[in-house]
Amino acid sequence: MRNRLRVLRAEREWSQADLAERLEVSRQAVNAVETGKHDPSLSLTFKIARLFGLRIEEIFDDEA
């Protein structure tokens, strides 16, 4: 699943570790989601959307 996580993170000048801390997951998990290696769970997806103040479909694209 494609996503805009890396772009959104860069806009806020957050490192992967910064984002990981905010989401309460490991830095490896953030990297895996960003690179599309791991599709986040529903709860993590909501957490990401809430953190960036966006709707889920504005961040994730399941048609890729």
Partner 1 sequence: MFYYRSPGADQPITLQRARLTTGLALVLYPVGALLPVVAGSITAARLIGLCLIAIAFACALLMGKTTLQRIVGEEASRLDEYELKLRARATSMVYQILSALVLAGVFYLAVATDAGWWYPKSYEEFNGLFWGIFLYCFMLPGFILAWQAEATDLGPQD
Please report the beta strands in 1-64, taking only residues with DSSP state E, as ranges in sequence order: 2-3, 60-61
Q: How far is the CB of 3 from partner 1 (least distance, A)?
A: 14
Choose between 12 and 26: whose C-beta lies nearer to partner 1: 26
CA atoms of 17 and 24, how far apart (whole Å): 10
Choose between 44 and 54: whose C-beta lies nearer to partner 1: 44
Q: How far is the CB of 36 from partner 1 (least distance, A)?
A: 12
**DSSP conformational letter for 63:** T
Cβ pair 27, 16 in contact under 8 A: yes
Applying the rule CB under 8 A, the residues between 29 and 58 that interact with partner 1 are 29, 31-33, 35, 37-38, 40-41, 44
